[in-house]
C-alpha cells in the first residue's frame, strides 16, 4: 500500500501540469486581482477631475479664474464706490435694495458658470473595438491611433445613413472613440470626447457645451447680460444724480466718480459681447440648431430635420428632462484592467481579412503565453507606442496549435525545465527519505 502511494507521489512530483492555453506568467497577469481604481483615474479624455471624480472640468479649466474675476471685480467696484452714493440719493430701503441685488445677482451668475463648467456635457462612452462591418463581419484589430489607419479600420465605412423625423441624416465614424456618432453628436478635439448634441467648446467656461449643460450655459450668458445692463444703468443714474446735485456737466460728474465712468465703458462693451451671444443662441433655440450645425450645415427652416416648431423647440431646451450622465466617474474599476487590455492588444495579431473575428479569437489573443522575463520589455514597448490601445502588426497564424506553440517556445521550455528540476530535486529528497524510513 505504501509502495503505491510512493509511486503516485513520484508521478506527481515529476509531472508538470501545464495548462492548455496559459503559461504561469500569463496566468499571473490575468488572475492578479490588482488595485481597484476609480473610473476618473483611468479616463482617456483630456478632462480634469476634482473632489475624487465628483466634478469634471475641461482641460482649459483655468480660464474659469479669468471669467469669475471679470464678473466679480466690477461688482465689487460697484458696491464699494457707486452704491454708497445711490443709498444717499434714493430712499433708504430702495437704496439698500439696489446695493443688495447686485452681489446676489453676481453670485447667481457665478453659480450658473460653475454648474455649466463642472457638469458632464453629455459624453458618449467609448467603444473598445470598432463596430462590426455590415459586409463580411470582419473587425479590424488595428487601433484608430495607429499610423496608416487615418481613414478608419478596413471594412468599416466612414459614414452611415440614419432616419431622423423622416429625413436621411449621415452619421460619421469616430476614429478615436471607435463608434458611429449619434445624430447631433460631434467629437471635441480639445476635450477628446464625443459629446451628445455638441454645440461648441467654450473657452470662457472651459468646458464643452452639450445636451446636459446647454440650458445652464444659456442661462449663464443671458444672466450675465442682465447683470451688465444692471450695473450700466445704475452707474448712469449715479452720474445723473451727481450732475443734478453739483449742477455740473458730464465730464465734471465723471471726474467726481471715475469708477462709474470705468464701469459704464466696461459694461457697455461686455453687454455687446454677451448680449449678442444671447441673441444668437435665442435664434438657435427657436430654430432648434446648435452652433456647430449652424456654421457647418447652414440649415434652412425646411431642411432642418430637428426643428419641431418654435414652441416645441423652446420646450425641448428649457422644459425637457435632462438625461442622466452615461458615466459614473467614481465607479470602481480594475486598476490593471487597462494595462492588461493594452498588453493583450500589443500581443494580439490582426487576422487575415478572409477569416471573421469572433469573441473566442479575442480571448485567444489575450491568452497567448508570455514569459515572465519578457514582461518589462513588453511594457516598455507599450509605453513607446504612446497609448494603451496600440496593436501588433504581424499577421496572425491561422493554423495555430496550442500544444505545438507551447513546446516550441524556448522561454516556456526553460521555465518548464526549471520547474521540473526544482520539483524533481524535491521529489528525490522525499523518495530518499521514504526509503530511509522503509529501511
Contact status, residue 231 vs residue 262, Cβ threshold 8 Å: no
Question: Considering just the CA atoms, what is the radius of gyration of the chain in Å?
Answer: 34
Is the pLDDT higher at 283 or at 385? 283
The answer, yes or no, to whether residue 91 has pLDDT greater than 80, is yes
Going by pLDDT thresholds of 50, 70 and 90, the confidence category of residue 77 is very high
Is the pLDDT higher at 3 or at 53? 53
CA distance 196 to 182: 7
The answer, yes or no, to whether residue 341 has pLDDT greater than 80, is no
Look up 202 and say whether it is catalytic. yes
Contact status, residue 116 vs residue 217, Cβ threshold 8 Å: yes
CA distance 186 to 221: 23
**Residue 408: exposure state from Cβ atoms within 10 A (0-12, 13-18, ≥19):** exposed
Three cell numbers written together for 216: 445652464
CA distance 385 to 269: 49
- Any bridge partners for residue 56, and if so which? 49
CA distances from 84 to 3, 81, 106, 393 (A): 107, 6, 18, 74
Is the pLDDT higher at 308 or at 135? 308
Going by pLDDT thresholds of 50, 70 and 90, the confidence category of residue 320 is very high
CA distances from 97 to 77, 85, 100, 235 (A): 17, 13, 5, 15
Going by pLDDT thresholds of 50, 70 and 90, the confidence category of residue 79 is very high
CA distance 140 to 345: 12
The answer, yes or no, to whether residue 377 has pLDDT greater than 50, is no
Place of cell 500544444: 403
Three cell numbers written together for 63: 480660464
* Residue 21: HSE in the Cβ half-sphere, 13 Å Cα cutoff: 10
Q: Would the pTM of this model clear 0.85, i.e. be above it? A: no
The answer, yes or no, to whether residue 150 has pLDDT greater than 50, is no
Is the pLDDT higher at 173 or at 95? 173
Count of CB atoms situated within 10 Å of the CB of 137:
11
* Residue 231: HSE in the Cβ half-sphere, 13 Å Cα cutoff: 35
Three cell numbers written together for 10: 513520484
Domain regions of the chain by residue span: 48-118+209-319
Q: Residue 123 has what DSSP assignment? A: B
Q: How far apart are the first and last CA of the chain?
A: 16
Return mean pLDDT, the chain: 74
* pLDDT confidence of residue 54: 92
Share of the chain above pLDDT 70, in %: 62
The phi and psi torsions of 5 (rounded to 5 degrees) equal -65, -35
CA distance 103 to 293: 37
CA distance 73 to 55: 25
- Any bridge partners for residue 163, and if so which? 168
The answer, yes or no, to whether residue 389 has pLDDT greater than 70, is no
Contact status, residue 331 vs residue 38, Cβ threshold 8 Å: yes
Count of CB atoms situated within 10 Å of the CB of 126:
16
pLDDT, one tens digit per residue, over 342-359 is 333 333 333 333 333 333
Nearest CA among 177, 169, 139, 168 for reference residue 156: 139
pLDDT, one tens digit per residue, over 187-243 is 999 999 999 999 999 999 999 999 999 999 999 999 999 999 999 999 999 999 999
Q: What is the mean pLDDT of residues 325-354?
A: 55
CA distances from 105 to 21, 89, 138, 273 (A): 67, 22, 58, 19
Count of CB atoms situated within 10 Å of the CB of 245:
13
The answer, yes or no, to whether residue 431 has pLDDT greater than 80, is no
CA distances from 253 to 76, 225, 234, 248 (A): 21, 26, 14, 7
Ranked by mean pLDDT, the top range of 130-139, 141-150, 154-163 is 154-163
The answer, yes or no, to whether residue 376 has pLDDT greater than 50, is no
| Catalytic residue chosen out of the listed positions 177, 202, 208, 391 | 202
Contact status, residue 46 vs residue 59, Cβ threshold 8 Å: yes
Amino acid at each position: 500500500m505504501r509502495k503505491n502511494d510512493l509511486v503516485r507521489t513520484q508521478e506527481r512530483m515529476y509531472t508538470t501540469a501545464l495548462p492548455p492555453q496559459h503559461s504561469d506568467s500569463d496566468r499571473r497577469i490575468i488572475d492578479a486581482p490588482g488595485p481597484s481604481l476609480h473610473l476618473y483615474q483611468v479616463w482617456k479624455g483630456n478632462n480634469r477631475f476634482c473632489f475624487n471624480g465628483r466634478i469634471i472640468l475641461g482641460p482649459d479649466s483655468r480660464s474659469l479664474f479669468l471669467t469669475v474675476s471679470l464678473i466679480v471685480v466690477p461688482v465689487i467696484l460697484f458696491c464699494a464706490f457707486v452704491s454708497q452714493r445711490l443709498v444717499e440719493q434714493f430712499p433708504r430701503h430702495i437704496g439698500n435694495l439696489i446695493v443688495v441685488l447686485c452681489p446676489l445677482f453676481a453670485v447667481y451668475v457665478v453659480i450658473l458658470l460653475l454648474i455649466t463648467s463642472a457638469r458632464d456635457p453629455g459624453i458618449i462612452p467609448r467603444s473598445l473595438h470598432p463596430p462590426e462591418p455590415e459586409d463580411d463581419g470582419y473587425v479590424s484589430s488595428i487601433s484608430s491611433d495607429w499610423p496608416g489607419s487615418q481613414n478608419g479600420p478596413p471594412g468599416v465605412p466612414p459614414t452611415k445613413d440614419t432616419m431622423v423625423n423622416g429625413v436621411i441624416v449621415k452619421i460619421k465614424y469616430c476614429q478615436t472613440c471607435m463608434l458611429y456618432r449619434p445624430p447631433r453628436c460631434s467629437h471635441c478635439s480639445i476635450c477628446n470626447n464625443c459629446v451628445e448634441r455638441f454645440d461648441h467648446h467654450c473657452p470662457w467656461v472651459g468646458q464643452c457645451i452639450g445636451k446636459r449643460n446647454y440650458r445652464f450655459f444659456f442661462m449663464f450668458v443671458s444672466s450675465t447680460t442682465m447683470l451688465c445692463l444692471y450695473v450700466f444703468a445704475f452707474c448712469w443714474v449715479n452720474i445723473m444724480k451727481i450732475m443734478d446735485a453739483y449742477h455740473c456737466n458730464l465730464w465734471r460728474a465723471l471726474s467726481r466718480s471715475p469708477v462709474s465712468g470705468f464701469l459704464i465703458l466696461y459694461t457697455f462693451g461686455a453687454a455687446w459681447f454677451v448680449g449678442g451671444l444671447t441673441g444668437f443662441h435665442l435664434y438657435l433655440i427657436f430654430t432648434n440648431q446648435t452652433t456647430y450645425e449652424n456654421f457647418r450645415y447652414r440649415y434652412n427652416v425646411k431642411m432642418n430635420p430637428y426643428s419641431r416648431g418654435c414652441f416645441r423647440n423652446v420646450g425641448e431646451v428649457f422644459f425637457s428632462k435632462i438625461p442622466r450622465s452615461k458615466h459614473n466617474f467614481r465607479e470602481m474599476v480594475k486598476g490593471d484592467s487597462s494595462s492588461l487590455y493594452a498588453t493583450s492588444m500589443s500581443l494580439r495579431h490582426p487576422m487575415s481579412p478572409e477569416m471573421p473575428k469572433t469573441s473566442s479569437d479575442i480571448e485567444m489573443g489575450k491568452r497567448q503565453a508570455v514569459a515572465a522575463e519578457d514582461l518589462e520589455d513588453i511594457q516598455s514597448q507599450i509605453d513607446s507606442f504612446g497609448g494603451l490601445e496600440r496593436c501588433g502588426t504581424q499577421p496572425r497564424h491561422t493554423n495555430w496549435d496550442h500544444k505545438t506553440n507551447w513546446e516550441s517556445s524556448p522561454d516556456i521550455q526553460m521555465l518548464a525545465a526549471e520547474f521540473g528540476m526544482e520539483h524533481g530535486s524535491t521529489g528525490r529528497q522525499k523518495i530518499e527519505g521514504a526509503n530511509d524510513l522503509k529501511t
